[in-house]
Amino acid sequence: MSNDAMNPGWGGGRDPGVGDGPTSGRCSPLFSGAMSPRLQPNTHKEPCNDPGRSDPWEKTALLAILVLLSGCLHKTNRQAEGGGAVTVIQCAGSDTIVNVAQAWAEAFADVDPDVSVEVSGGGSGTGIAGLINRTLDIANASRKMTEEERKQARANTGQDPLEHVVGYDALAIFVHKDNPLEEISLEQLADIYGEKGPVDRWSQLGVTMPDPRRDKIIVTGRQSNSGTYFYFREAILGKKGDFRLGTLDLHGSKDVTELIGRTVNAIGYTGMGYATPHVKMLRISKKAGDAAIPPAVSTTLDGTYPIARPLLMYTHGTPSGPIQKYLDWIRSPAGQAILVQSGYVPVTTQLVATGSTPTGDAI
């Protein structure tokens, strides 16, 4: 073995003066700046680059790693100072709920710093699957668990999933803001969305589009693991109904309004919280000729708006300390205020007490 290989310094073997002399003094500020003070003594043992071979990329990469490392250390320190272990609540599911769930999780960090709530989306089906597989503590869902899923959860976890209503969502029918249509009936929606539905042009609904070449209806929906998809299918087409083929199945609640905002002849459904300046919410009537109801908090609460549904969180049986505290906080005025800000309809104390849903016969 040569001397070179045994020497820990990269360039030091050939010229000892470079490795241990002035260079180490030049290098150490670089390291100590990025590292936490605790690690500073180590920096003197760090090999320094031979100036002749120094590579700016290498240095940058090293610096980046050290910065990341110090960031991690910093975080651990802070958590350690907070005293006690941090409880992590895993929470995932419905894309309809994910935005407000994230807002809740962030706000709850200030309420109880010892509890960290981790939120992700993926669709109600994904969340419920996570609950069944025990990878989640809370499954967000915008549809009810099926009997089959409850059975699987019981078999896998030994506990009955418990349902908590945390708010309500009015499902709005969106069109582009330049579309002259203002209201639509449930029957017309079934004609547009149903498997054998006869309507595929706006003119069939008596609508004259500003640009006559844009008469074809671009029907958008959600991908089939979305609770919104299931709820809308049942509410519009009945238990046995199927959507027509060829609808654009978008991958998120936000994508729906995003796309409709760009497409003048499109129609779509998603939570009213996802409205943008480029889209318009239609008023909905149960039958053609009935009064058309705009989607709003008040119409959802009094039950006149026909397509609204509860937002649900499922837990394994009766939840334990931190999870119960989190759910209680969500249903407190502070938690519900965040829900309202996100465009959803709150659970009022009165409704919880009577146990009724404010959504009329559509559910």
Partner 1 sequence: MNRRPFEVLGERLIELVITICGISAIVFVFSIFYFVFREGAAFFFHGFKPGEFLASVEWYPTSQSHVRYGALALIAGTFSVTVLAMAIAVPFGLGAAIFVSEFCPRRMKETLKILIEMLAAIPSVVWGFIGLTIMNSLIIRVFDAPIGLTVLNGGLILAMMSVPIIVSIGEDALKAVPDTYREAAMALGATRWQVTYRVLLPAARNGLLAAVLLGVGRAVGETMAVLMATGHAVRIPASLLDPVRTLTATIAAELGEAAVHSDHYQVLFIIGILLFVITFVINLLADLIVKGIRKSS
| Nearest CB to partner 1, comparing residues 11 and 125 | 125
What gap in Å lies between CA 336 and CA 258, rounded to an integer? 26
Asked if 362 touches partner 1 (CB under 8 A), the answer is no
Stretch in the footprint of partner 1 (CB under 8 A) among 11-19, 71-79, 160-168, 244-252: 244-252
Alpha helices in the chain (DSSP H): 3-6, 16-20, 22-34, 40-43, 56-81, 95-111, 124-132, 147-157, 186-193, 227-237, 253-262, 297-301, 321-330, 333-341, 349-354
8 A C-beta contact, residue 162 and residue 324? no
Residue 13 or residue 122: which is nearer to partner 1 going by CB?
Answer: 122
Nearer to partner 1, 49 or 225 (CB): 225
Judged by CB under 8 A, the residue of 17, 246, 289, 321 near partner 1 is 246
Residue 11 vs 130, nearer CB to partner 1: 130
Identify the residue among 262, 320, 337, 352 touching partner 1 (CB under 8 A).
262
Binding letters toward partner 1, positions 191-220, x by CB under 8 A: ----------------------xx-x-x--
Does residue 140 interact with partner 1 by CB under 8 A? no
Could you give phi then psi for residue 266, rounded to 5 degrees? -95, 160
Site string for partner 1, 70-109 (x = CB under 8 A): ----------------------------------------
- The pairing of beta strand 161-176 with beta strand 308-316: antiparallel
Give CA separation, 267 vs 121, 137, 169, 223, 255, in Å. 24, 36, 19, 15, 12
Q: Does 358 interact with partner 1 (rule: CB under 8 A)? A: no
257/336 with CB nearer partner 1: 257
Does the protein bind partner 1 through residue 241 (CB under 8 A)? yes
User: Quick one: which of 106, 118, 242, 328 contacts partner 1 (CB under 8 A)?
Assistant: 242
Strand partners, 220: 248
Q: If binding means CB under 8 A, how many residues of this protein chain bind partner 1?
A: 35
Question: Cβ–Cβ contacts within 10 Å for residue 117, how many?
Answer: 23
Neighbours of 342 (CB within 10 A): 18
Name which position in 120, 249, 329, 363 contacts partner 1 (CB under 8 A): 249
Segment near partner 1 (CB under 8 A); pick from 78-86, 197-205, 262-270, 282-290: 262-270
Are the C-beta atoms of 199 and 226 separated by less than 8 Å? no
Find the shortest distance in angstroms from Cβ 226 to partner 1.
8
| The binder of partner 1 chosen from 43, 49, 225, 253 (CB under 8 A) | 225
Cβ distance to partner 1 smaller for residue 207 or 296: 207
Per CB under 8 A, does 267 bind partner 1? Answer: no
Buried b (16+ CB within 10 A) or exposed e, 130-141: bbbeeebbbbbb
φ/ψ bin of 158: left (φ > 0), alpha (ψ from -120 to 50), beta (otherwise): left
One of 31, 193, 202, 230 touching partner 1 (CB under 8 A): 230
Among residues 129, 120, 170, 112, the alpha carbon closest in space to that of 328 is found at 112
As given in the structure block, the two tokens for residue 184 are 């639509």
Shortest distance (Å) from residue 16 CB to partner 1: 33
Distance (Å, whole) CA 98 – CA 140 = 8
Residue environment code for 196-230, b if the CB has 16+ CB neighbours within 10 A, otherwise e = ebebeebeeeebebeeeebeebbbbbbbebbbbbb
Q: By CB under 8 A, what part of segment 143-172 binds partner 1?
A: 148-149, 152
Give the binding site for partner 1 (CB under 8 A). 122-123, 125-126, 129, 148-149, 152, 213-214, 216, 218, 223-225, 230, 239-242, 245-251, 255, 258-259, 262-266
